[in-house]
Amino acid sequence: MPTERCGSFSAKFDHNSSVQGKPIARWGHKADGSLRDGRAAGEYMEDTMKGLKWSMAVMTAALLVVGFGSMAFAFHSGGVAQCEGCHSMHSAQSGALLTKSDIGSTCLNCHENAEGDTEPTRYHISTRTQDLDAGNGKAPIQRSPGGDFGWLKMSYTYVTHGDTINEAGASHGHNILAADNGYTEIDGATAPGGTFPSAQLTCTSCHDMHGQYRRFADGTIKTTGLPIANSGSYNDSADPISGSTAVGVFRLLAGKGWTQDGIQFVVDPPAAVVNKNYNKSEDVLQVRDAYGKGMAEWCSTCHPDMHTNSGRLTHPVSQNLASLTATYNSYVKSGDMTGSQLTSFNSLVPYEEDTLNYATLKSIASNNAKQQPGPTVTTSDVMCLSCHRAHASGWPDMLRFEYQSEFMVYNGLYPGIDNAAAGYAMGRTEAETKAAYYDRPVSDFSIYQRVLCNKCHAKD
Ligand code: HEC
Ligand code: HEC
Ligand code: HEC
Ligand code: HEC
Ligand code: HEC
Ligand code: HEC
Reported as a single tens digit per residue, the pLDDT across 414-438 is: 999 999 999 999 999 999 999 999 9
Q: Compute the CA torsion angle 272, 276, 277, 282 (nearest 10 deg).
A: -20
CA of 315 to the centre of ligand 5 (A): 8
Establish if 346 belongs to a structural domain: yes
**How many residues in the chain?**
460
22 within ligand 1 shell (Cβ under 6 A): no
453 within ligand 6 shell (Cβ under 6 A): yes
φ and ψ at residue 341, rounded to 5 degrees: -55, -35
Distance between first and last Cα of the chain = 52
Q: Is the separation of the CB atoms in 284 and 369 below 8 Å? A: no
Nearest CA to ligand 6 atom 35: 453
Total count of domains within the chain = 1
> Please, what is the angle between helix 41-57 and helix 103-111, to 10°?
40
Strands 259-260 and 246-248: unpaired
- Among 312-316, 384-388, 429-433, 446-450, the range scoring the smallest mean pLDDT is 312-316
172 within ligand 4 shell (Cβ under 6 A): yes
- Res. 291 pLDDT band, cuts 50 70 90: very high
Nearest ligand by distance to the CA of 346: 6
Establish if 7 belongs to a structural domain: no
44 within ligand 2 shell (Cβ under 6 A): no
Which amino acid makes up residue 424? Y
Stretch (H or E) spanning 229: strand 228-230
Nearest CA to ligand 1 atom 27: 96
276 within ligand 3 shell (Cβ under 6 A): no
- Among 10-19, 116-125, 306-315, the range scoring the smallest mean pLDDT is 10-19
- Res. 378 pLDDT band, cuts 50 70 90: confident
Establish if 222 belongs to a structural domain: no
What atom of ligand 5 comes closest to residue 456's alpha carbon? 1
Establish if 422 belongs to a structural domain: yes
Classify residue 344 as left (phi > 0), alpha (psi -120 to 50) or beta: alpha
CB atoms near residue 420 (< 10 Å): 12
Nearest CA to ligand 6 atom 43: 456
Nearest ligand by distance to the CA of 76: 2
80 within ligand 1 shell (Cβ under 6 A): yes
391 within ligand 3 shell (Cβ under 6 A): yes
Nearest CA to ligand 4 atom 6: 299
Residue predicted with more confidence, 47 or 87: 87
- Res. 306 pLDDT band, cuts 50 70 90: confident
315 within ligand 5 shell (Cβ under 6 A): yes
pLDDT at 377: 83
Stretch (H or E) spanning 261: none
Prediction pTM value? 0.91
Q: How much is the mean pLDDT over the chain?
A: 86
Average pLDDT over residues 232-237: 97
8 within ligand 5 shell (Cβ under 6 A): no
Establish if 228 belongs to a structural domain: no
Burial of 379 (0-12, 13-18, 19+ CB in 10 A): middle
Nearest ligand by distance to the CA of 247: 2
- Res. 63 pLDDT band, cuts 50 70 90: very low
Beta strands in 358-445 (DSSP E): 366-369, 381-382, 407-409
Nearest ligand by distance to the CA of 110: 2
pLDDT at 6: 26
Establish if 365 belongs to a structural domain: yes
Nearest CA to ligand 1 atom 23: 96
176 within ligand 3 shell (Cβ under 6 A): yes
CA of 193 to the centre of ligand 2 (A): 29
204 within ligand 1 shell (Cβ under 6 A): yes
pLDDT at 192: 94
Average pLDDT over residues 223-246: 98
Convert the pLDDT of each residue in 176-231 to its tens digit: 999 999 999 999 999 999 999 999 999 999 999 999 999 999 999 999 999 999 99
CA of 208 to the centre of ligand 1 (A): 9
CA of 415 to the centre of ligand 1 (A): 45
CB atoms near residue 395 (< 10 Å): 25
- Among 308-312, 356-360, 406-410, the range scoring the smallest mean pLDDT is 308-312
DSSP 8-state symbol, 374: -
Classify residue 153 as left (phi > 0), alpha (psi -120 to 50) or beta: alpha
Listing DSSP states for 344-359 in one string gives: ---TTS--B-----HH
Nearest ligand by distance to the CA of 302: 4
Establish if 3 belongs to a structural domain: no
Nearest ligand by distance to the CA of 106: 2
Nearest CA to ligand 1 atom 10: 209
Which amino acid makes up residue 431? A
Nearest CA to ligand 5 atom 39: 384
Establish if 61 belongs to a structural domain: no
103 within ligand 5 shell (Cβ under 6 A): no
Domain range spanning residue 455? 283-460
CB atoms near residue 398 (< 10 Å): 22
CA of 306 to the centre of ligand 4 (A): 10
